[in-house]
Chain A
C-alpha cells in the first residue's frame, strides 16, 4: 500500500497537483487560517507531472466556483477531489475561465481599474502558459504578475 505523505481526510476537499510555489497562495485563497476543521498542507512533495507539488486537504469544505477560478489562475494544473466517507466521489481539474471579474488586481498602477471604484475585468488570451489582458489598460500579465483580491 502506498504511504500517504499527507494524511487522508474523511469528508471534504483535496486540492492536489498545486504548483509548489503557489501552495500557500492557494491556502490564502481558501482562507485556511479561519477554517475550524482539519486543514493539512503539504509542499515540496514529489510529482511526476510538476517535479515538486503542493497539496491541501480541508475537512468539511466544498469549494465555491470563485475559489476554483482563483486557484486555476495560480495553479492551473491543480486537481480537486471531493471526499466522502474517505472515498473520492468526484474529481476534476481546475479550468481557467475565459474572462475574470472582480477577484484580480491589474498590476499596472496607472490602470484606471486601480484608480477608480470599478470592478476589474480581464480576458484570458492564453491558458498555457497563462497570459491575461486587462480589459481596461490592455496590459498583459503572466502567472507571476497575478494578484488576487
Chain B
C-alpha cells in the first residue's frame, strides 16, 4: 500500500511511478469532492525567500479549502536571514510553529537542507534553477486530463530548457511513462547535461532540435516555457534569445500538427505564446493552472496523513 505520510516533496527523483500515479488519482478525487475540514487545526508555513505569487497563493488556497491555516512571509527583507541567521536555524525554529513547511528559496538545494533539518514534511516550491516538483504534478495532471493517459506520449519541450526548472522536473517524471521527448530550444538554452545524462541512464527516447517544425507532426503535448530574464547573468545574452519562439494561431495553422495536440505552459507567459492561441483547441494552459489547487490539496493531505 502506498503511503506518503510525512514524505518530503523535494525532487521528482524521489517519487516512484506508483507514487506519482497515486498522487494524480488523489488529485482527481480532490477536484471532484470538496474536503472542507480535513486539515482543520493544521498550520502551513509558507516560507518564500524568493518572490512568487501564483505558487504561494495556490498553496494558501489549497490549505484553506481544507480547513487549515497559513502563516509565512514572501520577502527576504522581513526574515532573520538579513540578520545573518542560517537557513537551518530559521527552519528549525519555524518547525515549532507549524505542521508543514512550503519553501521557495534562491539557493539550489535549500529545500533538501530544510527537509534534512526538520522533523515535519517539507514541500519544495522551487529552489533556484533546480526543481519545482509540485508544478510537475500539476503538469502531469494536466497531461492526464488532456490525454486520458500519460503513457507513450510524444512530448515537445519548447523554450528555455537550460534554466526552466519545470521542464527539468517534467522530463524526469515522464521518464517513468515511456515518453518520446523532443527538446526544442536554441543551442544556448539546451537541457543541461545533468538532465540529459539522467534520461540516458533511464533509457529515455529523446532528441534535441532547434526548430519546432522538425518535430511538430508527431507531438501529442507541447510544453512551452518562458525564457526567464531573471536567470541570465548578462542582459545581452537574454536579448539574443528573447522572443525566439513565438507561438500564435497563425503559426499553429502553418505547422503540421496533430488535431488533438495540447499546449501546456506553467505560466506566466511573456511573448512566447500569443493570445490568439487562447481560443484554440490546442490551449490547455489555463485549465492546467486551475489544476494547481486540487493537486496541491492532494499533496498536502497526503503528506499530512489525512488521506491514506
Contacts and interface: CB of A to CB of B under 8 A. Distances in A.
A31 to B, nearest CB: 30
Main secondary structure of the interface of A (DSSP, over half): loop
B109 A113 contact: yes
Interface in B246-302: none
B107 A115 contact: yes
A21 B128 CA distance: 34
Given A138-B11, A138-B13, A138-B194, A108 B86 contact: no
By size class, the interface of chain B is 20 to 34
B182 interface: no
Interface stretch (A38-46, A67-75, A129-137): A129-137
A138 B87 contact: no
Contacts of B109: 111-113, 134-138
Contacts of B198: 140
Interface residues of A, number: 20
A140 B197 contact: yes
A91 interface: no
Contacts of A134: 109
Contact of B86 (A113, A117, A135, A137): A117
A139 interface: yes
Interface in B53-87: 86-87
Interface in B102-151: 105-110, 112-113, 127-131
Which of the listed residues A108, A113, A136 has the most CB atoms from chain B within 10 Å of its own CB? A136
A136 B124 CA distance: 12
A118 B13 contact: no
A139 B86 CA distance: 22
A140 B129 contact: no
A112 B108 contact: yes
B201 A137 contact: no
Given A116-B88, A125-B201, A135-B112, A111 B107 contact: yes
Contact of B108 (A111, A118, A125, A131): A111
Among B109, B110, B113, residue most surrounded by chain A Cβ atoms (within 10 Å): B109
A136 B193 CA distance: 17
A73 to B, nearest CB: 18
B206 to A, nearest CB: 17
A138 B107 contact: no
B197 A131 contact: yes
Interface string B193-223: 1100110010000000000000000000000
A140 B194 CA distance: 5
Q: Which of A112, A115, A131, A140 has the most CB of B within 10 A?
A: A112
A2 B193 CA distance: 46
Given A110-B128, A116-B88, A117-B86, A136 B197 contact: no
Given A136-B108, A136-B110, A140-B197, 13 more contacts: A110-B108, A112-B107, A112-B109, A118-B88, A118-B113, A136-B109, A136-B113, A137-B127, A138-B11, A138-B109, A138-B130, A138-B194, A140-B194
12 contacts: A110-B128, A110-B129, A111-B109, A112-B110, A118-B113, A125-B201, A136-B108, A136-B110, A136-B112, A137-B108, A138-B11, A140-B194
Q: Which 3 pairs from chain A and chain B are nearest by CB?
A: A136-B109, A137-B108, A137-B109
